[in-house]
Chain A
Amino acid sequence: MKRGSHTVSLQKEKHTSFYGNMADVGKTPVARNEKTNSEFGYVGIDAILEQMRRKAMKQGFEFNIMVVGQSGLGKSTLMNTLFKSKVSRRSLMTSEEERIPKTIEIKSISHDIEEKGVRMKLTVIDTPGFGDQINNENCWQPIMKFINVQYEQYLQEEINIERKKRIPDSRVHCCIYFIPPTGHCLRPIDIEFMRHLSKVVNIVPVIAKADTLTLEERDFFKQKIREDLRANEIDIYPQKEFDEDAEDRIINEKIREMIPFAVVGSDQEYQVNGKRLLGRKTRWGTVEVENTAHCEFAYLRDLLIRTHMQNIKDITSSIHYEMYRVRRLNENNTQPNGQQAIHANGVPEHEVLSHEM
C-alpha cells in the first residue's frame, strides 16, 4: 500500500480574511451581537481569546520573586507593599529569629492570593544574611545555586517519562536587588552580584529607602549606577536583546531610562488631604508611597505586576531556563574527558551542532 505523501503547502501567506466570502468582500467585520443580512460572515475564531482567558482563570498563575540585599534595606516591607498583604517572612517570624544570620539563608514563602477571580500562587524568596558578613566573598554563590536548583527541579520533571500535566514552576522569575541609598555609585558587592546573577535570572535593581535622597541626588545616583552597569556589561531587566519589536523597544526604552527605581515601602496608612494613603510619616512631612512625585514605587509595581509579569515569566522560561538546559545537557557530554571550559554564564565553549540532533 502506497504510503501517503503529505503535501504541506504553506499557502504563500494566504491571508484569507473572513470579512465575508466572495460576495461580501469589502464589508466590515460583523461583531457577534450585530445581526445583518449576511450574518454568516462571522466564523468565531476570535472566541479562542475568551477560551484562553477562561482556562487561565481556572488554572491560576504562579509567580516567584526573590529579594536580595543587606539587612535593614526594607526588603520585606517592600514586598508587603507591593502585594498589599503580609507576604514576607517577617510576618511569619518569631522574635527569636530576628537576628542577622551568620551565613546566608534562603527562605521561600508561598501564599495564595486572589483578585477579581484571578488566583495567584505568590512565592517570595528572601535571602537574609546576604552582604551582612565581614567577608562577603562569593556571597552570590548560594543564591546562584538556589536558582540553579530550581531550574534543575523543573528540568528533572520535564524529562520524566510520566510527567505531570502542569509542571510546578518554582523557578525564580524575578530578582529584586536592593541598592543602599549611598548616593555615590555601585559598591563592589553590588557589581559582583549583579554581574553573576544577571546571566541566570531577571534582575531588577532598586534604590532602597529612597526617601533619604533629594531628587537631584537621586538623579545623579541613578546616572552613576547606569554608567556602572554599562561599564560592567550587566544586563538588567528588561534586556535590550529580548525586545521583540519596535513597539516593545519603545516601551522598554522608557523603562530602561528610569531604572533603577527609587522606592519607598510602607504598610502603614496615613491620612493625607482627606485620603488614607500608604506612606511614611516624618516630622517634616509624609512620604506617599504611591505618589510618583515622591518615589517610583508605582512604576516598579506597574512593571512587575500590571504590565510585564507575563513577559518576565516568558523570559525566564524561554531564555534563562533554556540556557541552563543547554548547559546541563551538554556538560554530561564531557564527563569522561574531564575538563571542559564552561563559562560562568553557563554557556559551554563549543556548541558545535548542539542544535542538530
Chain B
Amino acid sequence: MGLVQYVLVTEQPGEGARGVPLSGHVGFDSMPDQLVNKSVNHGFCFNILCVGETGLGKSTLMDTLFNTKFEGEPTQHNQPGVQLKSNTYELQESNVRLKLTVVNTVGFGDQINKEDSYKSIVEFIDTQFEAYLQEELKIKRTLHSYHDTRIHACLYFIAPTGHSLKSLDLVTMKKLDSKVNIIPIIAKSDAISKSELTKFKIKITSELVSNGVQIYQFPTDDETVAEINSTMNGHLPFAVVGSTEEVKIGNKMVRARQYPWGTVQVENENHCDFVKLREMLIRVNMEDLREQTHTRHYELYRRCKLEEMGFKDTDPDSKPFSLQETYEAKRNEFMGELQKKEEEMRQMFVQRVKEKEAELKEAEKELHEKFDRLKKLHQDEKKKLEDKKKSLDDELNGFKQKKTAAELLQAQTQQAGSSATLKKDKERKK
C-alpha cells in the first residue's frame, strides 16, 4: 500500500442546530467541581502591591484585611530611594490554601527629588512579568507548578489631605495603569470628615479621568455580581481605616481606633469603606483580578517584549524557527558562559593546588632543618658527656693509684716501724 491518504472532514452542525438536546443525565455538570477540586489541591496564589508614602498605614491595612499579623517593623523615613520589599505567606481558610505575597514600597515619597520614584515600582512589576515570560518560553517548562509572582492588585494609598491628588500620585498611577490593576484607596480616612470625604472622592475621580488614568473597574458582565460591582465602582476610591486593636463596643469586641472623642470602627460601613474593600478585593473579584493580570497586563507586556526582540506574526511558518533562533542564541550564550565559568574554576583550582604544594614544600624543608639541628645538638651533647666521662675516669684512676700508693707506703712504714722496734728490742737485750 502506498502513502495512506487521510481525509480530514470537519463537520459543524448547521446554523440552526447549535446545540443538541440531551435525553438524560450525562454527568458533565460536575466539571466545575472537578476544576475547583483540582485548584484546591493545587492551592492559589495572590500578590498585592501596596504603593504609598511611608506612614500611611499600609502594613496595618494588610494586617486588618487578612486578619493576621504580618512581620515587619515600621520603616524609617530616611531611605535614599524607593525599595520594594516582598514577603510571602501561606494562609489557609477551610480547605483553601492561599500563597499570599505582599509587596511594600519602602521609602516612597520620602525623597526630596521624587522624579524617579515610580521607576523601581515599574521595574519590579516588569521583572515579575519577565520571569513568567521566561518560564513560558522555556523548552522544558513546568507552568502548572510555577509560583506566579505577578502582581494581581495594586492598592494605591492616597494621603488624606482632603484636597486633591498629589502630582506624585498622578504620575505614578499613570505609569502603572497599563501594567497592573490599580485600586486607589484613601488611607487613614478617619482624618477626614464625611462631607469633606465626598468632595475629596469626587475631586480624585475627576482628576483621574482628566489625566486618563485607567483604574481597575470591578467587572459587570456576570449577572450574579454585576449589580454589586457596579455599585462599588461608584464608591471608588475606598476610604479605609485599618486597625488590629480590639475595643469593646456594647458586648462585642470589634477592631477599632479609639479617640477621646469617639471610636472609629473598622468594620462599620458608616465609619469607613473597609468592608467594601475587603468584599471587592477578596470575596468577589479575586479571581477576576488574577485573570485580568494574565490576559490583559501580562499579554501586553509579552507582546511588547517579543516585538522588541524583533518577532512578527506575519510569517507563520517561520515563527517556531525565529523563536528557535533565540533559543539557539541563548543556548550558545549559556554554553559560552558555562565554559568560561568552568575555565575560571579550573584556573582557580590549579592555582590553589600550586599554593598548597608550595606551602607543603616549605613545611617539609623546615622539618628537615629542624631534624638536622636536633641531630647536631644531640651529637654535641653526646661528645660533651663522653669527654666528661673520660675526665672522670682519669680522675678515678688517678685516685685509685694514689690510694694504692698510699696504702703501700703505709704498709711499708708500718712494717719498717715494727721491724725497727724489734731491732731495738733485740739491741737492748744484748
Q: Which 10 pairs, one residue from A and one from B, show the smallest C-beta to C-beta distance?
A: A142-B6, A4-B83, A51-B287, A310-B34, A44-B283, A355-B140, A306-B27, A2-B81, A116-B29, A332-B324
Q: What residues of A have a CB within 8 angstroms of the CB of B137 in the complex?
A: 357
Binding site for A on B (CB under 8 A): 1, 4-13, 18-41, 44, 65-69, 71, 80-96, 98, 101, 103, 106, 116, 119-120, 123-124, 134, 137-141, 143-144, 149, 222, 224-225, 244, 246, 251-255, 267, 278-279, 282-288, 291, 295, 299, 302-303, 306-307, 311-313, 316, 319-321, 323-324, 327-328, 330-331, 334-335
Is A293 part of the binding interface, using a Cβ–Cβ cutoff of 8 Å? no
Q: What residues of A have a CB within 8 angstroms of the CB of B7 in the complex?
A: 101, 103, 105-106
Report the nearest B residue to A125, measured CB to CB: B10
Q: What 13 new A-B contacts, CB under 8 Å, besides A6-B84, A8-B87, A46-B95?
A: A4-B124, A10-B88, A11-B87, A11-B89, A52-B32, A52-B287, A54-B225, A112-B19, A113-B26, A113-B28, A120-B28, A161-B312, A354-B140
Q: What residues of B have a CB within 8 angstroms of the CB of A351 in the complex?
A: 140
Please determine whether A309 and B31 come into contact, CB atoms closer than 8 angstroms. Answer: yes
Please determine whether B19 and A18 come into contact, CB atoms closer than 8 angstroms. Answer: no
Distance in angstroms between the alpha carbons of A106 and B286 in the assembled complex: 43
Given contacts A3-B81, A89-B11, contact A357 B138 (CB under 8 A): yes
Please determine whether A45 and B13 come into contact, CB atoms closer than 8 angstroms. Answer: no
Q: What residues of A have a CB within 8 angstroms of the CB of B295 in the complex?
A: 165
Instruction: Kindly identify which residue among B41, B71, B101, B140 contacts A326, using a CB–CB cutoff of 8 Å.
Output: B140
Please determine whether B23 and A43 come into contact, CB atoms closer than 8 angstroms. Answer: no
Binding site for B on A (CB under 8 A): 1-11, 13-18, 20-23, 29, 37-38, 40-49, 51-58, 61, 63, 82-87, 89, 92, 101, 103-118, 120, 133, 135, 137-139, 141-142, 145-146, 155-156, 159-163, 165, 244, 278, 301-302, 305-311, 314, 318, 322, 325-326, 328-330, 332-333, 351, 353-357
Instruction: Kindly identify which residue among A5, A14, A318, A332 contacts B320, using a CB–CB cutoff of 8 Å.
Output: A332
Please determine whether A356 and B22 come into contact, CB atoms closer than 8 angstroms. Answer: no
Q: What residues of A have a CB within 8 angstroms of the CB of B30 in the complex?
A: 305-307
Q: Give 27 pairs: A residue, B residue, CB < 8 Å, sorted on A.
A: A3-B120, A7-B86, A7-B87, A8-B86, A13-B90, A18-B91, A18-B93, A44-B282, A46-B95, A54-B287, A55-B291, A103-B5, A103-B7, A105-B8, A108-B8, A109-B12, A110-B12, A112-B20, A155-B320, A156-B316, A159-B323, A160-B313, A309-B28, A309-B31, A314-B144, A353-B334, A357-B334
Please determine whether A355 and B138 come into contact, CB atoms closer than 8 angstroms. Answer: yes
**Majority secondary structure, A binding face:** mixed
Please determine whether A305 and B143 come into contact, CB atoms closer than 8 angstroms. Answer: no
Shortest CB–CB separation between residue B57 and chain A, in angstroms?
17
Please determine whether B6 and A161 come into contact, CB atoms closer than 8 angstroms. Answer: no
Given contacts A43-B93, A46-B93, A159-B319, contact A115 B25 (CB under 8 A): yes
